[in-house]
Amino acid sequence: MGVEPLVSHFFVFYYGVLADITPPVALAAYAASGISGSNPFTTGNTAFRLGIAKALVPFVFVYSPALLLVAEGFHGRPFL
């Protein structure tokens, strides 16, 4: 597909982390509603509205891998 392996793995990992606040999983939002005593549906919708911009970030990584400090031919050497 023309994407560096590290970038593609980070793309998938980012959405896995994002699943805690966005529906349909929204485990963190559900737990927060239980702690605060609010409606889980309302808390989930609020978490989704606040987190929708985060859903676009992985696409920025794909189109600009320099943000991840990944260059062509990067073989895991640390930047010093």
What is the tens place of the pLDDT at every residue in 25-41?
Answer: 888 989 999 999 999 99
How many Cα atoms sit within 13 Å of 57 on the Cβ side? 14
- On whether residue 55 sits in a domain, the answer given is yes
Domain count, the chain: 1
- On whether residue 74 sits in a domain, the answer given is no
Q: What is the pLDDT of residues 30-80, one digit of tens each?
A: 999 999 999 999 998 998 898 888 888 888 888 887 777 766 655 555 554
Residues 6+ positions from 9 with CB-CB distance below 8 Å: none
How many Cα atoms sit within 13 Å of 21 on the Cβ side? 14
pTM: 0.65
Domain that holds residue 29: 5-68
- On whether residue 44 sits in a domain, the answer given is yes
- On whether residue 78 sits in a domain, the answer given is no
